[in-house]
């Protein structure tokens, strides 16, 4: 699942949480995203800014899902996950045994760990965090590298709680 598809598949509530986080905590990234999306539609950013938050966020979610916005979608997901969902990232990486910088950042994805470790990592996340957020993170994690991890791909294909866009 590509970053645009991940964002497009999020529920309105989760997408609103993502954009609300960006607007409050990552103001420059939010303004840049809004300005770029508005310009792509030949709108002035103020036109979108004046919309009530729920409408603004829904519009942004639709626009990010459009062709050509993969870089924006990737950036938004990264900022949201690394900021608002840092504890989930750290829990997963610690459980599967991937070394990180203490903040969940990794320079290069290592070879796939043992399947039991991946299973334990996914199960831990599903026990502690909302299913949709876990699904968004694991899908984003899986596309970090071209091949991803086979055991994680299996989870994403078979586990109903990790299906985005279904409620």
CA pair distance 35, 28, nearest whole angstrom = 10
Say what the alpha-carbon torsion angle 65, 71, 76, 81 is, to the nearest 10 degrees.
Answer: 110
Q: How confident is the model at residue 166 (pLDDT cuts 50, 70, 90)?
A: low
The model's pLDDT over 10-31, given as tens digits with 9 standing for 90+, comes to 999 999 999 999 999 999 999 9
pLDDT at 167: 53
Q: How confident is the model at residue 146 (pLDDT cuts 50, 70, 90)?
A: confident
The answer to whether residues 91 and 42 belong to one domain is no
The model's pLDDT over 84-118, given as tens digits with 9 standing for 90+, comes to 999 999 999 999 999 999 989 888 888 899 999 99
**Threshold 0.85, pTM exceeds:** yes
124 assigned to some structural domain? yes
- Averaged confidence pLDDT in the chain: 94
- Domain boundary among the residues 56, 84, 112 is at 84
Our measurement of the distance from residue 87's CA atom to the centroid of its chain's CA atoms, rounded to an integer in Å, reads 14
What is the domain range of residue 66? 3-84
12 assigned to some structural domain? yes
167 assigned to some structural domain? no
pLDDT at 108: 81
């Amino acid at each position: 699942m590509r970053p645009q598809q991940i964002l497009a598949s999020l529920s309105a509530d989760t997408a609103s949480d993502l954009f609300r986080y960006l607007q409050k905590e990552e103001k420059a990234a939010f303004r840049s995203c809004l300005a770029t999306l508005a310009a792509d539609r030949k709108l002035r950013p103020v036109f979108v800014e004046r919309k009530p938050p729920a409408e603004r966020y829904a519009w942004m979610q639709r626009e990010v899902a459009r062709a050509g916005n993969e870089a924006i979608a990737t950036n938004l997901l990264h900022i949201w996950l690394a900021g608002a969902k840092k504890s989930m990232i750290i829990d997963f990486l610690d459980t599967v045994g991937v070394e990180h910088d203490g903040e969940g950042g990794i320079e290069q994805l290592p070879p796939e760990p043992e399947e039991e470790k991946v299973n334990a990592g996914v199960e831990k996340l599903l026990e502690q965090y909302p299913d949709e957020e876990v699904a968004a993170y694991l899908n984003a994690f899986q596309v970090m590298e071209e091949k991803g991890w086979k055991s994680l791909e299996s989870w994403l294909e078979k586990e109903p709680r990790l299906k985005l866009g279904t409620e």
